[in-house]
Structure 1
Amino acid sequence: MSDRNIVIEAVEGKKQRAAFVDIGREFAAREPHNVPQLRSEQLELVDPDKNPFFGHAEAQLFIAYEGGKPVGRIAAHIDKLALELPPEQGMGPGTGMFGYFDAEDEEVAKALISRAEDWLRGKGMTRVIGPISLSIWEEPGLLVKGQDHSPMIMMGHDPAHYAGWIEGAGFTHAKSLLTYDLDISTPFPRIVQRIVQSGERNERIRLRGVDKSRWVEEIRTVLEILNDAWSTNWGFVPFTEAEIEHAAKKLKPVVRPELNMIAELDGRPVAFMVVLPDLNEVLKKVRGKLFPFGWFHLLRALRKPTGLGMRVPLMGVRKEFQSSRLASQLAFMMISKIRDNATEQYGSKRAEIGWILDDNKGMVAIADAIESSINREYVIYEKAL
C-alpha cells in the first residue's frame, strides 16, 4: 500500500479552470514534438459560457496534487446527445467519458481515473470511454503511434507511456482512429486520374469552392451533409444549432474557398471536403504566443498559407450515394482539385487525411488508392463501471 498523499480536487470557477489548462500546457511542453496551442483557445474549450458543447453536456474537471504541487489532471463528462445513440455506434445509454488526461506517474494516473469513474458512476453511468477531450469533434483518442513527428492543426499529441497506464487501469481497446500522410507534390496514380477525368466529363457533376459571402449558409450545407453522411458512424454525435454557429465563427478565418469543396449533383449539394492549412507550423514557430510578434506570423499565414501542409479533417457523401461508384468518384475529384490548388497556389507538398475509423472500408480504400500511408493512430478505450 502506497504512503503517498495524492489529493484530487474538483475544479470550480475561472481561476481553477485556468490552472487546469496551464497544467496541461506544462505536460505538453515536455514532449519534443508538441506544438504549443493558443492559451486563449484552450481556456475557451473548458468554459461552459463559451463552448456550446456544454449546451448538451455536463463535465467535472479534476486536478491532482502531491505536496501542494499539481501532478496531473483529468475531465469526466457526459454528452447527453451521445446517451441517445444506439449502443452499436459506440456510445448510447449509460456511457460517460473521460478526457484531458495527464499524469506524473502511473499511481497518479490511476487515482485520477478512479476519481473520474466515481463521478460518472455517481451520475448513473455504467460505462466509460476515452480519452475524449471534451467533444468527439475536438480531440478524440489517445495517440499510440506517431509521437516521432508533430501533429497537424486540431490534433492531439500524447506521450507513449499513457497507453500502458490507461490499460493498467482496466481499460480495453474500443476503436482506432487513423490519419494518413500524403505526398501531394507528385501526381496521383493513373487509375485515380482516369476516374477524375470521367467525372469531369459528367455534366451532372459540379465542384465549387465554398462561398464565403454566404458563409453561414455554406457551413449549414456542409454540416447538414455531414450529419447525414456520418449518422451511422461509430462515435458520431450530431452538431447542434449552437455548435454550427460556433463552428462558422471559428473556421471562417482559416478556410480558403479554393481548398474547401462542395460537390453538386444536378445542382444539389451531395458531398463536401474541408481542408485546413496546418497553422501548427506557425504556432510552433511562435511557441503558441500571439505577443509580441506571434500575431503577425499568424495573420500572414491566414492570409496566404504559403508552403504549409494541409489537413483534411472532414469529408462526406450523402448516405444515399455511399454504396455507389459515385461516392468514391466525388471523393477523388475533390481531392484532386484541392491538391492542384494547394500545390499550384500555395506550394504545399504534404497533406494528412484524418481521422478515419479503422473499419471505415470506403475511406480506407480511398486512402490506399491515392497511395497515402498511416502515420498516426489514436485509440479510444472503454471500461464497464
Structure 2
Amino acid sequence: MFVAPADPTPTDLVIAPVTTKGDRTAFVHLPYRLHAADPNWVPPLRMEAMELVTPGKNPFFDHADVQHFLARRDGAVVGRISAHIDHLAIAQPLAQGMGPGCGNWGMLEATDAAVAAALIARAEQWLRDKGMDRVLAPLSMSIWEEPGQLVQGFDHPPTVMMGHQPEHYRDWIEAVGGYETAKMLYTYELDITKEFPPLIQRIVASGEKNARIRVRNVDRSKFDQEARLILDILNDAWSDNWGFVPFTEREIAYAGKKFKPIVREDLIMVAEYDGEPVAFMMTLPDLNEVLAPMRGSLFPFHWIKLLAWLRKPQVRTMRVPLMGVRKHLQSSRLASQLAFMMIEFIRRNAVSRYGASRGEIGWILEDNQGMVAIADAIDSHVNRAYRIYQKTL
C-alpha cells in the first residue's frame, strides 16, 4: 500500500492550482522576472507563451489532462509547475518510454530549492491522484515542445524551439530524491561554411547522378499539403523511437500555422525515391537571434523589425529540428545517402542565400545510432545536452 510522504511544503508557502485568467498571466510572466539577468535566456513572445498554456488554443489540451500550479510566499509568486497526463503518450508501448501509468511535469520555475521541491511534490501528488505510478520529466508540455533539463551548454543561448534553464535547476531536481536519468537528448553544432569530408561529398555526388532519386524543395503554395506530407513521414519514421507521441490533425494544422512565417522553401527538403516521398529535412533560420533583444514583446516598434527580418532573414545559425526517413528504408545505405544529400543541399542554400555560418542539428536521442553516425560523419559536435528524468511514484 502506498503511503504518501510527509508534506515538504514550507509553512510560509502556498501552492494552488491555476484557475483564473490572472493566475495564468502570473504563471506565464514569472520566468521573465526570474531570468531577466541571464544573457543566454531568450524570452519567448508573451502572446505565444500564453497560447501554449491556454486550453482551446494549444491542441495539446485536446488529448491531455493538464493542471498548472503557482507557488506564492506572502502573496508574491515564487514558483510554478505544470502536471499533465498525455493520453496519446500513455497509449504507446511501455518499452518506448511513455506507456500506461506514465505522467509528466514540466515548466518548472522557482526562486529557491525549497520552492522547487514543494512544486515537484505537488505535481507528483496530482499525478498519483490521477492513477499514475511513474513520471518522466521535465516535459514542457509535449515531448515535441521543450523536453528535458539543460545539463550542458549553459554558456550560449538556445536556438529556436529549444529550452534553456539555469544550471541550479538540475541540482534542485536531483536533490528531491528518486529521480534518475531516463534519456539524454543532444544537439550538435557545426561550421557550415566548410565543405563536408570527401567521403560525404562522393556520397552526395553519387546520389545526384541517380535518376531514381529526387531531392526537392517544398512548395510553399501548397503549404497545407506539404505540411501533412512531412508530418506523415515523421509519424512513420519516428514511430518506434523512445518517447514518440503521434501528431493529431489539429496539431498538424497548429504546427503549420506556427511555422509558416519562418518556413523557406529552399530550407526544407523532401527526398523522393522512384517518385515516392520517403524522407524529409526541416531547417529553420534561428528566430531567437531576432527575438532575444525584444524581451518577449513586439511593442512598441519590435514588430517592424520582426516583419523586416521575416521578409529576408539573415542569420548566423540554422537549426534542423526535424528529419526522418520512412521506416522501411531505415538502416539502409539509401537512407544515409538521402540524409547527406538533404543536409548538403540545405547547407549550400543556408550559406549562399541567408548568410549563415553555423548549423545546429537536434535534438537527437543519445542511442539513435543512425543520427549520431550522421552527425559524426559531417564533423559536428555536441553543444547542448538535456536530461529527461524518471521516477517511480
Q: TM-score, normalised by structure 1?
A: 0.98
Q: What's the CA shift for 1:4?
A: 4.3
Partner of 2:236: 228
Q: Equivalent of 2:181, from 159, 162, 173?
A: 173
Is 1:94 paired with 2:95?
Answer: no
Partner of 1:37: 44
Is 1:77 paired with 2:71?
Answer: no
Is 1:11 paired with 2:18?
Answer: yes
**Greater than 3 Å deviation, 4+ residue runs:** 1-4
Equivalent position SS for 1:288: coil
Contact 2:63 2:88 in 1 (8 A): yes
Equivalent position SS for 1:315: strand
Q: Kindly provide the CA deviation profile for residues 216-274 of structure 1, in whole angstroms up to 9, marking residues without a partner as x.
A: 11000000000000000000100001101111111111100000000011111000000
Equivalent position SS for 2:223: helix
Contact 1:143 1:158 in 2 (8 A): yes
Measure the CA separation in 1 of the matches of 2:318 and 2:342.
Answer: 14
Is 1:64 paired with 2:58?
Answer: no
Unmatched segments (≥5 aa) in structure 1: none
Q: Equivalent of 1:55, from 49, 62, 71?
A: 62
Partner of 2:329: 321
Unmatched segments (≥5 aa) in structure 2: 1-7
Partner of 1:195: 203
Q: What's the CA shift for 1:58?
A: 1.1
Bigger drift between 280-289 and 372-381 goes to 280-289
Q: Kindly provide the CA deviation profile for residues 358-378 of structure 1, in whole angstroms up to 9, marking residues without a partner as x.
A: 000000000000000100000
Q: What's the CA shift for 1:304?
A: 1.3
Q: Kindly provide the CA deviation profile for residues 178-209 of structure 1, in whole angstroms up to 9, marking residues without a partner as x.
A: 00011101111111100100110100000111
Q: What's the CA shift for 1:287?
A: 2.4
Partner of 1:361: 369
Alignment length, in residue pairs?
385
Q: What's the CA shift for 1:87?
A: 1.0
Q: What's the CA shift for 1:107?
A: 1.0
Measure the CA separation in 1 of the matches of 2:35 and 2:360.
Answer: 22
Is 1:184 paired with 2:195?
Answer: no
Measure the CA separation in 2 of the matches of 1:26 and 1:77.
Answer: 25
Q: Equivalent of 1:291, from 271, 296, 299?
A: 299
Partner of 1:375: 383
Contact 1:307 1:346 in 2 (8 A): yes
Partner of 1:311: 319
Partner of 1:238: 246
Measure the CA separation in 2 of the matches of 1:136 and 1:304.
Answer: 31
Equivalent position SS for 1:29: coil
Equivalent position SS for 1:155: coil
Is 1:119 paired with 2:126?
Answer: yes
One-letter amino acid matched to 2:52: L
Q: Equivalent of 2:116, from 105, 109, 120?
A: 109
Q: TM-score, normalised by structure 2?
A: 0.96
